[in-house]
Structure 1
Amino acid sequence: MDAVIFDLDGVLVDSEQTWDEVRRAVVAGHGGEWTGEATRAMQGMSTPEWARYLVEELGARLSPERIAEVVIEEMAARYAGGPPVLPGAEDAVRAVAERFPVAIASSSPPVLIKAFLAATNLTGLVPVAVSSQEVAAGKPAPDVYLKAAELLDVRPQACAAVEDTTNGLRAAMAAGMTVYAVPNPHFPPDPAVLANAAFVLGEIADLPNKL
């Protein structure tokens, strides 16, 4: 193994519920209607993808561009006092970075990735951070993982990926990476997909000892 690539939401930051709360409120406030499959459908989508979903599938009466701005502004406000870093996440990244080049491959927009790195003082240890907003397709497509590997100058097959949700796991697997799953307790991944992970961890703090 030559590098380790982390997802952000649900792996390093306990933010999946916050994304869900914010999107639900924005949809409700602009004439849309939430559906039972919406939460899982959007996990891993890039910003343009979930913005279109909120408008085209859920009926929110804003343009995709505007609804993306509204949601991200609210998420940034929630992060203002510091992102909700998961217990052990910062130490896990530091421990892994002592042994391997590390990167972040996330569906969050760049502003929120940067907020996490700044709050944890990890910017200097994480030389590559890619948002799915910066590639052609969000998860479960492998694009964001492949881009992170490219920027690290490492073959995807020589990378470990750390993920928590169904679409994230599928993306890392499609990239050909060795997948370490840290199942999201709020939105557990599909058992059939989870079964294909190389390793399943109880918490992110377990990762350094498994690599």
Structure 2
Amino acid sequence: MDAVIFDLDGVLVDSETVWDATRRAVVAEHGGTWTEQASRALMGMSTPEWARYLVDELGARLTAERAAEVVVDRMAERYAAGPPVLPGAVEVVRAVGRDYPVAIASSSPPVLIDAFLDATGLADLVGVALSSEEVGAGKPEPDVYLEAANRLGVAPRDCVAVEDSTNGLRSALAAGMTVVAVPNPHFPPEVDVLARAGSVLNEVSELPTTLTTL
């Protein structure tokens, strides 16, 4: 493998439940109704996609643009106190970065990716930090992974992608990458999708050793 591309939410930061609670609150405050399917459906969507979902599917009485603004502002306030970095995540990125070019391919908006990089001091190490807002479609489409590989100058087939969710795994698999799964304990990926991963880890700290076996 020639490069490693990390997802952010659920892999490096424990933020999936924060996103979920924030979106739920905004929907409820603006006259919408949360559904049983919503949490999983939203995972991996780009900001424009999930904002439209809050309005069109869940009935929040906002424009999609305003829904995105409200949710992202609240997430930024949470990150201002320090992003919820998962234990060992920074050390793993540094360890991997000693041997491979590394990138982040995330569904988070750029402001939150930048907040993570600034808070952890990883900005100089991560060669590419890309939001799905900056490409054609969010996960499960492969766009964000393909563009991250392109910006690294590495063929997708020569990249390892590290993912936690069903839509994230589908995105990386569709990009033709070797996929290492770190299943999200709050929203476990679908079993049939997880089975397609090249390796499944209990926690991200196992990644440096795992890379030597791929």
The TM-score, its normalising length taken from structure 1, stands at 1.00
- Name the CA distance, whole Å, in 1 between partners of 2:207 and 2:53: 34
> How far apart are residue 134 of structure 1 and its match?
0.5
- Write the mapping of 1:19-168 to structure 2, written as runs, cut at 5 A: 19-168=19-168
Q: Deviations over 1:130-157 (max 9, x none)?
A: 1000011000000000000000000000
Q: Secondary structure at the match of 1:79?
A: helix
Partner of 2:210: 210
Q: Give every structure 1 segment of 4 or more consecutive aligned residues whose post-TM-superposition deviation is greater than 6 Å.
A: none
> How far apart are residue 127 of structure 1 and its match?
1.4
Partner of 1:172: 172
How much is the aligned-residue C-alpha RMSD, in angstroms? 0.3
Q: Deviations over 1:29-87 (max 9, x none)?
A: 00000000000001000000000000000000000000000000000001111100000
- Name the CA distance, whole Å, in 2 between partners of 1:162 and 1:127: 16
Question: Which residue identity lines up with residue 60 of structure 2 in the other structure?
Answer: A
Q: Secondary structure at the match of 1:9?
A: coil
- The total of aligned residue pairs comes to 211
> How far apart are residue 12 of structure 1 and its match?
0.1
Q: Secondary structure at the match of 1:108?
A: coil
Residue ranges of structure 1 left out of the alignment (5+ in a row): none
> How far apart are residue 5 of structure 1 and its match?
0.1
Q: Deviations over 1:148-201 (max 9, x none)?
A: 000000000000000000000000000000000000000000010000000000
Question: Which residue identity lines up with residue 57 of structure 1 in the other structure?
Answer: E
Question: Which residue identity lines up with residue 10 of structure 1 in the other structure?
Answer: G
Question: Which residue identity lines up with residue 210 of structure 1 in the other structure?
Answer: T
Q: Deviations over 1:73-102 (max 9, x none)?
A: 000001111100000100000000000000
Q: Secondary structure at the match of 1:117?
A: helix
- Name the CA distance, whole Å, in 1 between partners of 2:67 and 2:13: 23
Question: Which residue identity lines up with residue 73 of structure 2 in the other structure?
Answer: E
Q: Secondary structure at the match of 1:59?
A: coil
Residue ranges of structure 2 left out of the alignment (5+ in a row): none
- Name the CA distance, whole Å, in 2 between partners of 1:42 and 1:2: 31
The TM-score, its normalising length taken from structure 2, stands at 0.98
- Name the CA distance, whole Å, in 1 between partners of 2:127 and 2:153: 12
Answering whether residue 190 of structure 2 is matched by residue 190 of structure 1, we say yes
- Name the CA distance, whole Å, in 1 between partners of 2:138 and 2:208: 27
